[in-house]
Amino acid sequence: MKIILSESQVNKIMDKIHDDWKEKGGKLVKTYSFPTYEEVIDFVVKVSEVAKKQNHHPEMVVGHDTVKVMLFDHEKGEVSDKCHKFTKSIDKMVDSEESLDERSRTLANTRKKVLFPRSAMMANPNRFKEYDKEVKGINEEKSEDLFDEFADTRMGGAEKIAKNAKEKGGFSMLTYHHFVVKLPYYKKASEGKFNMEDSKKEFTKTLKSISLNMNQTDFQREVGRLEVLGELLIKHKGK
């Protein structure tokens, strides 16, 4: 009996093989990948909530589409059962969300096929052209609101991360400076005050100002500024 796996199933298995928790330098380490920066922020916020509940705080390196999580028990001076418990909680959370996403996609595709079967579209294409125009008009009206909501959601996530990092202190203050600098930009965008041309100029200026000669705090702050400007410019362009 042959078992045929879909491409997504193969990729998921390979991800688990190549990107499982590994012990490096006395720490448990794993890098999670996400399709969007919004999901990166959402993941960081949820990990922070787990950290509070378990009173065990991991180090996290946040990228545009990845989060590197590092665990170490400072009280015992080594990787402990507490660390392994935390890894299971995070993996369970991620696996649960992946299952929900897959189920949502399946339901959405099924609904689309029921409402708009291909045979109906082929039989009466003009009817669906009118529908497409109507949907396009609705989407254009909503695009501005969606951008404002996007910025507001991002601001909420950045506020939580900055607050948690500040409470933790120490090296986490680098994370604090990386995210707190983003807040005024998100706030301005959420209030409908985003200016495309001014933001392009500031993005270029910030990019030129980043240097390896900067101290860590200034570097994190300017990289954070570059990230939020780039993110808002790309989102605004596509709305």
In this prediction, residue 26 carries a pLDDT of 86
Domain count, the chain: 2
Residues 64 and 162 in one domain: no
Decide if pLDDT at 11 tops 90.
no
> Which pLDDT band holds residue 109 (cuts at 50, 70, 90)?
very low
In this prediction, residue 134 carries a pLDDT of 47
- The C-alpha atoms of residue 157 and residue 142 are separated, in whole angstroms, by 22
Residues 1 and 100 in one domain: yes
Burial class (CB in 10 A: 0-12, 13-18, 19+), 167: exposed
Q: Which two tokens stand for residue 53?
A: 């509940």
Query: Which domain does 223 fall in, by range?
Result: 116-239
Decide if pLDDT at 238 tops 80.
no
Decide if pLDDT at 237 tops 70.
yes
Which of 63, 85, 107 terminates a domain? The answer is: 107
In this prediction, residue 239 carries a pLDDT of 57
Average pLDDT of the chain to the nearest whole number: 77
- The C-alpha atoms of residue 153 and residue 83 are separated, in whole angstroms, by 30
Residues 30 and 96 in one domain: yes
- Domain containing residue 51: CATH number: 3.30.1360.20
In this prediction, residue 49 carries a pLDDT of 87
Residues 78 and 177 in one domain: no
Residues 235 and 120 in one domain: yes
- The C-alpha atoms of residue 188 and residue 198 are separated, in whole angstroms, by 12
Residues 145 and 86 in one domain: no
In this prediction, residue 16 carries a pLDDT of 46
pLDDT mean over 120-130: 51
- CA–chain centroid gap for 57, Å, is 19
0.85 exceeded by the pTM?
no
Residues 97 and 165 in one domain: no
pLDDT mean over 74-87: 87
Which of 86, 107, 128 terminates a domain? The answer is: 107
Burial class (CB in 10 A: 0-12, 13-18, 19+), 87: middle
pLDDT mean over 162-189: 92
Residues 90 and 122 in one domain: no
Q: What are phi and psi of 36, to 5 degrees?
A: -135, 160
Residues 101 and 121 in one domain: no
Residues 7 and 94 in one domain: yes
Residues 122 and 212 in one domain: yes
Residues 183 and 82 in one domain: no
Which of 59, 78, 107 terminates a domain? The answer is: 107
In this prediction, residue 177 carries a pLDDT of 93
